[in-house]
Chain A
């Protein structure tokens, strides 16, 4: 039996079936040269493990444990036995309205993106805000409103009411919004490329807006949201002309 490098490697990595294994061992016993090659490979394996094993003994950063214990999880209630079924389920899932029980638990407190995403966001489809890769993103009706709807020119019954628009200290545009559906979330989204990551969400701002002719001015925003704006804003909010110009520029 000719022992190629490939076979030798598979032997060292314990990938050979019993018979092939025995054949290699016989060959090794007869050839000091082969035995040396195997020993070198085993030594490399040992060295590599040794070089990275120290990581296992390091204290684990809290943020990783927190992520494991608290990062938002997708649905796992239905036992999914294979990926095809998972895909099927996904396409069957229909958009559902925001339901109050999901939000009510946190309605009393100010909830920032991170906390919110840890608490209850599931992989929604066609919802105005989705969690993606650990962040919140505006989509669907909210993304359209953020991109197109001007605060100075919006209908009172639009599903999203746009508030202030401003330049952030990072240089990009941010806009505040209130979702009139469901519990009425208010928040801040800041443009990033073609998308609108939602940086702040505050529940329970709806009452004032539902059905009323609510043109959201700064003074009517929830206080908590104002604080978030103050932290981000560079200069003054955009006026109507500034907003129109920003929209023309696709908020870039």
Chain B
């Protein structure tokens, strides 16, 4: 049945950490990623009538985030970059793993955007191929080929001598 708007808001609150994580794989610096997450939340609420009862909230919101990034935020981030130099991925927790984490994050950032999103949706967010294909608005075959190329590229980048 239909969710009430208040329930939807609380569901979104619960989802914020994952929205931030997906945003972090899309936008390079954490501040841009949070801007992207915020725009996504605002758009989702403004269009909540379009959320179908049978679709998962996270898939729906990831789709909104992808579009927000493509339509709007990406261009702004590029423009702002003139003033705010790209930050290296920060706030990495672990100790012995930290180098590894940085290497993976930076390898991700070197993937073409469409591959990066496919990798992020399936490998990081754990979406099914079908869900990920819907988020990216492509056929499953396109999704799996991006995913395969993304994986290969990542594996190659990570095996490069440091």
Contact A9 B148 (CB under 8 A): yes
CA distance A89 to B16 in the complex (A): 30
Q: Is B77 close to A, CB under 8 A?
A: no
User: Which stretch of A76-84, A167-175, A176-184, A220-228 is in the interface?
Assistant: A76-84
Proximity bits, B20-38, A CB within 8 Å = 1, else 0: 1100110000000010011
B151 within 8 A of A: yes
Q: What residues on B are CB-neighbors of A82 within 8 Å?
A: 52
Contact (Cβ within 8 A) B43 A64: no
B16 interface neighbour in A48, A50, A65, A80, Cβ under 8 Å: A65
Expressed in whole angstroms, the Cα–Cα distance for A104 and B47 within the complex equals 25
Given the interface pairs A6-B144, A54-B92, A76-B2, the reply to whether A67 lies near B34 with Cβ below 8 Å is no
B53 touches A81 (CB 8 A): yes
In the complex, whether B72 has a CB less than 8 A from a CB of chain A is yes
Q: Is A125 an interface residue (CB 8 A)?
A: no
Query: Could you count the A-B residue pairs with CB atoms below 8 Å apart for me: how many are there?
Result: 151
Instruction: Tell whether, in the assembled complex, residue B21 and residue A52 are in contact, meaning their CB atoms are under 8 Å apart.
Output: yes
Q: Are B17 and A55 in contact (CB under 8 A)?
A: yes
Size of interface on B: residues with Cβ below 8 Å to A? 58
**Does A108 make an interface contact (CB < 8 A)?**
no
Known A44-B151, A79-B2, A81-B53: A51·B104 in contact at CB below 8 Å: yes
Give the residues in chain B near A50, CB-CB below 8 Å.
97, 100-101, 104
Residues of chain A within 8 A (CB-CB) of B3 are 76
Per-position 1/0 for B129-162, Cβ under 8 A of A: 1000000000000001001100100110010000
Docked-complex contact B151 and A9, CB < 8 angstroms: yes
A 138-177 to B, binary, CB cutoff 8 A, 1 in contact else 0: 0000000000000000000000000000000000000000
Range for the number of chain A residues in contact with chain B: 35 or more
Bitwise interface map of A from 41 to 67 toward B, beta carbon under 8 Å scored 1, else 0: 100110111111111111011011101
One of B1, B13, B119, B128 near A68 (C-beta < 8 A): B13
Q: State A49–B144 Cα separation when bound (angstroms).
A: 19
Q: Are B101 and A44 in contact (CB under 8 A)?
A: no
Please state if B49 and A51 are interface contacts (CB–CB under 8 Å).
no
A sample of 11 inter-chain contacts (CB < 8 A) reads A41-B151, A47-B104, A48-B108, A51-B105, A52-B124, A69-B13, A80-B2, A80-B49, A82-B52, A123-B47, A133-B46
Interface residues of B (CB under 8 A from A): 1-5, 8-10, 12-13, 16-21, 24-25, 34, 37-39, 41-43, 45-50, 52-53, 72, 91-94, 97, 100-101, 104-105, 108, 119-120, 122-124, 128-129, 144, 147-148, 151, 154-155, 158
Q: Which A residues are within 8 Å of any B CB, using their own CB? A: 5-6, 9-10, 13, 15, 40-41, 44-45, 47-58, 60-61, 63-65, 67-69, 71-76, 78-83, 86, 89, 123, 131-134
